[in-house]
Amino acid sequence: MIEKLKPLFTLPVVLAALGAALLMCALTGAGLAFTRPASLAPTAAGAALTIIPNPTATPYLPTPTIAPTATTPGEPPTPLPGVLAVGAYVQIYGTNGAGLNIRRTPGLNAEVQFLGYDSEVFVVTDGPQEQDGLTWWYIVTPVDESRAGWAAANYLSVVPKP
């Protein structure tokens, strides 16, 4: 490898390299001598100053509250229309005529009380409870309180009060 570089180390090549290095040093020194750093540069007569005001207090305006109203004990509150909640009327749907197992307790392994049929209307009296990946509601037939149990929400549709 050195044998290949040996022809480059002749007197004219070495002198040219030294001359180029000295020229670069001279130009760099001249550039530094004739320039000033920005922090030492003279500024305009009036310095720009930005004034940022202090934050001001935001007035507190209390929100009006509605006084609670008394409800009759034992009677569930009326739910919003279309919302599945205690007090809502629901009907069974989506079983394709097979019916819905109404169970003694929430869960797919709970004992089946009876079979509820599509379009049969119930009142929600308890719930929700999560079990076996489903949401369960306790429903009661308005005309026969003995027909009551837990039903999966997937098969219940909220209907207006009859």
pLDDT at residue 47, as a whole number: 63
Question: What is the CATH code of the structural domain delimited by 89-159?
Answer: 2.30.30.40
Which is higher by pLDDT, 40 or 3?
3
Indicate if the pLDDT at residue 150 is higher than 60: yes
What is the average pLDDT across 89-110?
92
What pLDDT score does 12 carry? 83
The whole-number average pLDDT for the span 18-40 is 78
Domain segments of the chain as ranges: 89-159
Nearest CA to 108 out of 93, 85, 130 is that of 130
Contact 113, 99 (CB under 8 A): no
Which position has the higher pLDDT, 159 or 57?
159
Residue 72 has pLDDT above 60, yes or no: no
